[in-house]
Structure 1
C-alpha cells in the first residue's frame, strides 16, 4: 500500500516534469488522495512553473526544501526529487521529518550540512537506497523522474 502511494505520487510528479515544469513546493500538505479512485494527486501549483522561469525565493516546508535551494540556488527538477525523497521517508516511517526541531536557521543549516531524517528499522534496503539517492546533497547524483519511475516499478 505504501509502495503504491509512492508510485502514484511519482507518476503525478512525472506528469509535472514531463510538461517541463517544476512543482517547487512538494510536501504532504500538497498531496491529495481520492479514495473512490484509489489515486494520489499533487496539488497547489502556486509555485509550479516552467523550468525556464526560475524562482530564486525559498518557498515551502523546510524539511522538504533541497539543500541547494536553501543556500540560494534556483529550483530544478532535482529539487523536486529531493522533496520526493523526504516524502518517501515520511510515507515509509509514518512520521513527520524533523518533528522535534524548530524550523529555523539551525535546521536549515543542518540540512545543508547533510542531516537527513533517521531511517527506522524494517524498511527494505532497495527502498532505502532509492530514498537516499533522492535526497543526496549533490543534485547531479539524484535520479531524474524517468529513472525514479523505473526503480520504483
Structure 2
C-alpha cells in the first residue's frame, strides 16, 4: 500500500492551515487555487470509481489522504480518496437498494436516510457538495447542532450548510447543485470535473470563480 505521508485532509485543513492563510489585516482567506487542486483530485477519483460501477458512500475530508508527490508546484500534496470500507458495487441497473444509514451523518444524502430507497452515484455527488463546504470554510457542517435524529429529519426536509457571503458564486452554485434534494438534478462527476476545471482556470486568470 502507498504511504500517504501528509495525513488526512481534515487534519491538514484545520491544524496546518493547508488551504487558508491569514492576511496582514488579520482576515482569514481561502487559497482558491489550492482548493480547486484538492477538489479536482477527489472528483477525478470519484469519476473513476463511478465508471467502474462503484460508489464510495463516505466522502468527507477525513477520508481523503495526502501524499507528497514530485512534480506538484510548491510541493503541494496529491489528494487520494481512501477508507473504502463502505464501497458498494452497483448492479446492472446502476443502483442498489439502501439497507442502512452507514456513513457520516453530516455528509449523507437524504436518500441514504430512508430505508428501501435507491442508491446511485448521486449519493457521492451530494457528499462531495458538503465536502466543498467543509474545505472552503474549514469547519464541520452543522457544527454545534445535535448529530442525531433531529439533524437527520432536518437534512431530509432540506437543511443544508450555509456558505459565507465571501464564497465565489460559481463555487457556491456547484456545491448547491451537488447537494440538491432531487437526485436527477445532481451533476455526474464528468460534469463536476469540467466545472471545477473551468473555475480553476478563471481563478488563475484572476477572475471570480
Range class of TM-score, shorter chain: over 0.9
Q: Does 1:123 pair with 2:156?
A: no
TM-score (norm 1): 0.94
Q: Is residue 49 of structure 1 aligned with residue 104 of structure 2?
A: no
Name the CA distance, whole Å, in 1 between partners of 2:111 and 2:87.
Answer: 18
Equivalence map 1:25-36=2 (5 Å)? 25-36=58-69
Task: Show structure 2 runs of 5+ residues with no match.
Answer: 1-33, 71-76, 198-209
Equivalent residue, structure 1, for 2:194 = 150
Aligned length: 153
What residue is the counterpart of 1:2 in the other structure? 35
The structure that has the greater radius of gyration is 2
Q: CA deviation at 1:149?
A: 1.0
Aligned partner (choices 63, 74, 93) of residue 106 of structure 2: 63
Q: 66, 75, 84: which one pairs with 2:128?
A: 84
Query: Per-residue deviation at 1:122?
Result: 1.4
- List structure 1 segments (4+ residues) > 3 angstroms apart after TM superposition: none
Alignment match of 2:55 (pick from 22, 29, 36)? 22
Q: Which residue of 2 aligns with 1:40?
A: 79
Q: Which has the higher contact order (CA 8 A, sep 6+)?
A: 1
Q: By how many angstroms is 1:151 displaced?
A: 0.8
TM-score by length of 2: 0.70
Partner of 1:101: 145
Unmatched segments (≥5 aa) in structure 1: none
* CA shift for structure 1 position 26: 1.2
